[in-house]
Amino acid sequence: MGPDAIYQLLRNLTSPIVAVTSEHAGKRNGMILDSAVRASIVPTIPRLSVYVHKFNLSHDMIFETGRFVLHLLREDQLELVHRLGFTSGRTQDKLADVPHRLGRLGAPVLDDCYAHFECRVANVMDTWSSTSFLGDVTDVGHGAASAARGAVMTAAYFRSHMPTAWRRDFEEHLASAQQFAAERSRDIRAVVWRGLKA
Protein backbone atom coordinates (compact mmCIF):
# COMPACT_ATOMS: atom_id res chain seq x y z
CA MET A 1 0.00 0.00 0.00
CA GLY A 2 1.36 3.46 -0.91
CA PRO A 3 1.92 6.27 1.58
CA ASP A 4 -1.15 8.22 0.41
CA ALA A 5 -3.45 5.24 0.90
CA ILE A 6 -1.95 4.65 4.35
CA TYR A 7 -2.50 8.31 5.23
CA GLN A 8 -6.15 8.11 4.12
CA LEU A 9 -6.64 5.03 6.31
CA LEU A 10 -5.02 6.80 9.26
CA ARG A 11 -7.54 9.62 8.83
CA ASN A 12 -10.06 7.23 10.39
CA LEU A 13 -8.19 7.89 13.64
CA THR A 14 -8.57 11.66 13.63
CA SER A 15 -10.46 13.15 16.55
CA PRO A 16 -13.33 15.61 16.48
CA ILE A 17 -12.32 19.15 15.59
CA VAL A 18 -11.35 20.93 18.80
CA ALA A 19 -10.17 24.43 19.67
CA VAL A 20 -7.22 24.54 22.07
CA THR A 21 -6.53 27.81 23.88
CA SER A 22 -3.58 28.98 25.92
CA GLU A 23 -2.24 32.05 27.69
CA HIS A 24 1.35 33.12 28.31
CA ALA A 25 2.60 36.41 29.77
CA GLY A 26 -0.67 38.19 28.94
CA LYS A 27 -0.89 36.83 25.37
CA ARG A 28 -4.05 34.78 24.66
CA ASN A 29 -4.24 32.39 21.74
CA GLY A 30 -6.21 29.56 20.18
CA MET A 31 -5.60 26.88 17.54
CA ILE A 32 -7.47 23.96 15.97
CA LEU A 33 -6.62 20.27 16.41
CA ASP A 34 -7.96 16.96 15.18
CA SER A 35 -5.53 14.89 17.24
CA ALA A 36 -7.22 14.76 20.66
CA VAL A 37 -8.06 11.55 22.48
CA ARG A 38 -9.44 10.47 25.80
CA ALA A 39 -6.41 9.25 27.72
CA SER A 40 -7.96 7.72 30.84
CA ILE A 41 -10.82 5.31 31.53
CA VAL A 42 -11.00 6.25 35.20
CA PRO A 43 -13.93 8.63 35.84
CA THR A 44 -12.20 10.14 38.86
CA ILE A 45 -8.95 10.72 36.91
CA PRO A 46 -10.14 12.36 33.67
CA ARG A 47 -7.30 12.80 31.17
CA LEU A 48 -6.89 13.65 27.50
CA SER A 49 -3.99 14.12 25.13
CA VAL A 50 -3.26 16.25 22.07
CA TYR A 51 -0.47 16.42 19.47
CA VAL A 52 0.73 19.97 18.80
CA HIS A 53 3.32 20.71 16.10
CA LYS A 54 6.35 22.66 17.20
CA PHE A 55 5.98 25.38 14.56
CA ASN A 56 2.68 26.50 16.13
CA LEU A 57 2.77 29.36 18.62
CA SER A 58 0.36 27.39 20.82
CA HIS A 59 3.03 24.71 21.23
CA ASP A 60 5.43 27.05 23.00
CA MET A 61 2.67 28.71 25.04
CA ILE A 62 1.43 25.35 26.36
CA PHE A 63 4.96 24.07 26.94
CA GLU A 64 5.88 27.21 28.90
CA THR A 65 2.78 27.33 31.07
CA GLY A 66 1.74 23.69 31.43
CA ARG A 67 -1.94 24.47 30.87
CA PHE A 68 -4.51 24.65 28.10
CA VAL A 69 -8.25 24.46 27.49
CA LEU A 70 -9.71 22.03 24.95
CA HIS A 71 -13.11 22.88 23.43
CA LEU A 72 -15.38 20.50 21.56
CA LEU A 73 -17.07 22.50 18.79
CA ARG A 74 -20.44 22.19 17.09
CA GLU A 75 -20.95 21.62 13.37
CA ASP A 76 -22.16 25.23 12.98
CA GLN A 77 -18.79 26.63 14.14
CA LEU A 78 -16.89 26.37 10.84
CA GLU A 79 -15.99 30.09 10.96
CA LEU A 80 -14.18 29.59 14.27
CA VAL A 81 -12.16 26.75 12.75
CA HIS A 82 -11.13 29.09 9.94
CA ARG A 83 -10.20 31.86 12.35
CA LEU A 84 -8.09 29.73 14.71
CA GLY A 85 -6.78 27.01 12.42
CA PHE A 86 -5.65 28.80 9.25
CA THR A 87 -3.41 31.58 10.65
CA SER A 88 -0.96 31.86 13.51
CA GLY A 89 -1.27 33.92 16.66
CA ARG A 90 2.27 35.05 15.87
CA THR A 91 0.84 37.51 13.32
CA GLN A 92 -2.53 38.41 14.83
CA ASP A 93 -4.67 38.37 17.97
CA LYS A 94 -7.04 35.58 16.97
CA LEU A 95 -9.14 35.78 20.12
CA ALA A 96 -9.73 39.56 19.92
CA ASP A 97 -13.29 39.14 18.62
CA VAL A 98 -14.03 35.74 20.13
CA PRO A 99 -16.00 36.07 23.41
CA HIS A 100 -14.12 34.33 26.22
CA ARG A 101 -13.01 34.59 29.83
CA LEU A 102 -9.99 33.26 31.66
CA GLY A 103 -10.71 29.93 33.33
CA ARG A 104 -9.57 28.71 36.73
CA LEU A 105 -6.13 27.74 35.40
CA GLY A 106 -5.72 31.13 33.68
CA ALA A 107 -6.16 29.99 30.06
CA PRO A 108 -9.03 31.28 27.88
CA VAL A 109 -12.40 29.53 28.00
CA LEU A 110 -14.52 30.26 24.91
CA ASP A 111 -18.15 31.26 25.63
CA ASP A 112 -19.47 29.46 22.57
CA CYS A 113 -18.57 25.77 22.24
CA TYR A 114 -20.15 22.36 22.78
CA ALA A 115 -18.12 21.78 25.94
CA HIS A 116 -14.73 22.69 27.37
CA PHE A 117 -12.06 20.90 29.43
CA GLU A 118 -9.48 22.86 31.41
CA CYS A 119 -6.24 20.87 31.53
CA ARG A 120 -3.01 20.91 33.47
CA VAL A 121 -0.13 19.15 31.69
CA ALA A 122 0.77 15.93 33.51
CA ASN A 123 3.41 14.64 31.07
CA VAL A 124 4.67 15.11 27.53
CA MET A 125 6.09 12.99 24.73
CA ASP A 126 8.45 14.52 22.19
CA THR A 127 7.84 13.19 18.67
CA TRP A 128 10.51 15.63 17.49
CA SER A 129 8.12 17.35 15.05
CA SER A 130 5.41 17.77 17.67
CA THR A 131 4.74 17.34 21.36
CA SER A 132 2.01 15.13 22.72
CA PHE A 133 0.65 16.80 25.85
CA LEU A 134 -1.10 14.58 28.39
CA GLY A 135 -3.54 16.75 30.33
CA ASP A 136 -5.22 16.20 33.67
CA VAL A 137 -8.74 17.61 33.29
CA THR A 138 -9.27 19.99 36.20
CA ASP A 139 -12.59 21.61 35.19
CA VAL A 140 -15.33 20.91 32.68
CA GLY A 141 -18.21 23.03 31.43
CA HIS A 142 -20.69 23.53 28.64
CA GLY A 143 -20.68 26.76 26.70
CA ALA A 144 -23.57 29.21 26.97
CA ALA A 145 -26.90 27.68 28.01
CA SER A 146 -27.93 26.60 24.51
CA ALA A 147 -24.41 25.96 23.19
CA ALA A 148 -24.29 22.19 23.76
CA ARG A 149 -27.21 21.64 21.35
CA GLY A 150 -26.31 20.30 17.96
CA ALA A 151 -23.70 17.77 16.92
CA VAL A 152 -19.98 17.77 17.74
CA MET A 153 -17.93 18.65 14.64
CA THR A 154 -15.87 15.70 13.41
CA ALA A 155 -12.79 16.02 11.22
CA ALA A 156 -14.64 14.25 8.40
CA TYR A 157 -17.51 16.76 8.71
CA PHE A 158 -15.07 19.66 8.51
CA ARG A 159 -13.28 18.29 5.44
CA SER A 160 -16.53 17.71 3.57
CA HIS A 161 -18.26 20.97 4.60
CA MET A 162 -15.52 23.58 4.52
CA PRO A 163 -16.32 26.31 1.95
CA THR A 164 -14.57 25.76 -1.40
CA ALA A 165 -12.77 29.08 -0.99
CA TRP A 166 -10.86 27.73 2.04
CA ARG A 167 -9.80 24.42 0.49
CA ARG A 168 -6.65 25.60 -1.26
CA ASP A 169 -5.36 27.29 1.90
CA PHE A 170 -6.16 24.16 3.91
CA GLU A 171 -4.28 21.87 1.51
CA GLU A 172 -1.27 24.25 1.42
CA HIS A 173 -1.06 24.43 5.22
CA LEU A 174 -1.34 20.66 5.45
CA ALA A 175 1.40 20.16 2.84
CA SER A 176 3.80 22.52 4.61
CA ALA A 177 3.05 20.90 8.01
CA GLN A 178 3.74 17.48 6.44
CA GLN A 179 7.04 18.72 5.02
CA PHE A 180 8.09 20.10 8.42
CA ALA A 181 7.11 16.83 10.09
CA ALA A 182 8.86 14.72 7.45
CA GLU A 183 12.12 16.55 8.07
CA ARG A 184 11.90 16.29 11.84
CA SER A 185 10.04 13.12 12.80
CA ARG A 186 12.82 10.56 12.87
CA ASP A 187 14.84 11.46 15.95
CA ILE A 188 12.39 10.98 18.83
CA ARG A 189 13.71 12.34 22.12
CA ALA A 190 12.46 11.51 25.57
CA VAL A 191 11.54 14.58 27.56
CA VAL A 192 10.83 14.47 31.27
CA TRP A 193 8.09 16.96 32.02
CA ARG A 194 9.27 19.41 34.66
CA GLY A 195 6.40 18.48 36.99
CA LEU A 196 7.73 14.92 37.12
CA LYS A 197 11.37 15.83 37.70
CA ALA A 198 12.46 14.94 41.20
Ligand X SMILES: Cc1cc2nc3c(=O)[nH]c(=O)nc-3n(C[C@H](O)[C@H](O)[C@H](O)COP(=O)(O)O)c2cc1C
- Contact positions vs ligand X (CB under 6 A): 17, 29, 31-35, 51-53, 56-58, 81, 85, 87-90, 130, 158
Q: Which residue, 85 or 143, has its beta carbon nearer to ligand X?
A: 85
Q: Which residue, 161 or 197, has its beta carbon nearer to ligand X?
A: 161
Please tell me the total number of residues recorded for the chain in this structure. Answer: 198
- Residue 172 CB, shortest distance to ligand X, in Å, is 11
Number of neighbouring beta carbons within 10 Å of residue 3? 7
- Residue 113 CB, shortest distance to ligand X, in Å, is 16
Q: Which residue, 53 or 71, has its beta carbon nearer to ligand X?
A: 53
- Residue 42 CB, shortest distance to ligand X, in Å, is 25
- Residue 6 CB, shortest distance to ligand X, in Å, is 17
Q: Which residue, 29 or 49, has its beta carbon nearer to ligand X?
A: 29
Task: Name the strand (E) or helix (H) holding 79.
Answer: helix 78-85
Q: Which residue, 69 or 81, has its beta carbon nearer to ligand X?
A: 81
Give a three-class secondary structure readout of 22-75.
EEECCEEEEEEECCEEECCCCCCCCEEEEEEECCCHHHHHHHHHCEEEEEECEC
Contact between residue 60 and residue 39 where contact means Cβ atoms under 8 Å apart: no
- Residue 79 CB, shortest distance to ligand X, in Å, is 12
Per DSSP, the three-state class of 109 is strand
Contact between residue 153 and residue 77 where contact means Cβ atoms under 8 Å apart: yes
> Burial, 8: exposed, middle or buried (Cβ in 10 Å; 0-12, 13-18, 19+)?
exposed
